[in-house]
Amino acid sequence: MSVQHLTTYRDVASWELSDSFWERIKPLLPKPKSRFRGRGKKRKNIGGRPPANPRQVMAGILYVLRTGCQWLSAPSEFGSGQTLHRYFQSWVRVGVFRRMWKAGVCEYDEVKGLEMKWQSADGCQTKAPLGGVATGANPTDRGKRGTKRSLLVEGKGVPIAIVVSAAQRHDLKLLAKTLDSKVVKIEEKEEENLCLDKAY
């Protein structure tokens, strides 16, 4: 990403998708599958559900994530809440949001510069009432299902790695995986230092 076309946010509310931000993330989205099959005269439209407007879908997803509302409670201007959730799950599987995160961190490094000399890691437990593969018994909440997030930040607090696991996993057991999952690899001339609490 070039720093010559910086994203502007002043013209929109915090939950809206600005034109400049959309232009930056549009190339990171997967292209919709063609509804045509065959070659030459045998090429025909096989029908099926037409793809939703990707900008409208992304705007709806960001609205839900920013406001915390339920998918089905998203305003109708974004389309069906079920469609938003379906696209969200699909884009998570193909790594769209990780690519967005990486692009944002790389641009931040170009504009402000990452401070990789001092990094910090820590974990936190959260509830997971809907379950999922990355859940387990939460030892601090009467054994209810929960997750643990292990986060790594650089010197200014910019997140550069995250790992989600079951709530009962100890912070120490997630540290190596967290360090290996950095969204960007920055070549540092100075050695890197890691700040940890007593849990490690």
- pLDDT recorded at residue 75: 94
Q: Are residues 142 and 171 in the same domain?
A: yes
pLDDT, tens only, 111-170: 999 999 999 999 988 877 666 767 777 776 666 788 889 999 999 999 999 999 888 888
Domain boundary among 97, 113, 129: 113
Domain boundary among 59, 87, 113: 113
Q: Are residues 133 and 167 in the same domain?
A: yes
Q: Are residues 157 and 78 in the same domain?
A: no
- The rounded radius of gyration (Å) of the Cα atoms in the chain is 20
Q: Are residues 134 and 85 in the same domain?
A: no
- Residue 13 resides in a domain: yes
Decide: helix, strand or coil at residue 3.
coil
- Residue 200 resides in a domain: no
- pLDDT recorded at residue 11: 67
Q: Are residues 106 and 119 in the same domain?
A: no
Q: Are residues 94 and 123 in the same domain?
A: no
- Residue 84 resides in a domain: yes
- pLDDT recorded at residue 62: 93
128 token code pair: 């997971």
Residue 154's domain spans which residues?
Answer: 115-195
136 token code pair: 């387990």
- Could you tell me if 128 and 145 are in contact, meaning their C-beta atoms sit under 8 angstroms apart? yes
Q: Are residues 31 and 88 in the same domain?
A: yes
Q: Are residues 158 and 59 in the same domain?
A: no
Q: Are residues 89 and 124 in the same domain?
A: no
Residues 6+ apart with CB under 8 A from 128: 134, 135, 145, 146, 147, 167
β-pairing, 118-127 vs 145-153, is: antiparallel
- Residue 41 resides in a domain: no
Indicate whether 15 pLDDT > 80.
Answer: no
pLDDT band at 61 (very low <50, low <70, confident <90, very high): very high
- The least confident of 26-40, 56-70, 78-92, 131-145 is 131-145
- In total, how many domains does the chain have? 2
Percent of residues, the chain, with pLDDT higher than 90 = 54
DSSP state of 33: P
Q: Are residues 19 and 68 in the same domain?
A: yes
Q: Are residues 99 and 186 in the same domain?
A: no
Rounded Cα gap, residues 57 and 161, in angstroms: 26
- pLDDT recorded at residue 153: 95
Domain boundary among 113, 144, 160: 113
pLDDT, tens only, 94-122: 999 999 999 999 999 999 999 999 999 99
pTM (two decimals)? 0.78
- Could you tell me if 99 and 24 are in contact, meaning their C-beta atoms sit under 8 angstroms apart? no
Residue of 67, 94, 95 whose CA lies nearest to 81: 67
Q: Are residues 67 and 165 in the same domain?
A: no
Rounded Cα gap, residues 153 and 195, in angstroms: 10
- Residue 43 resides in a domain: no
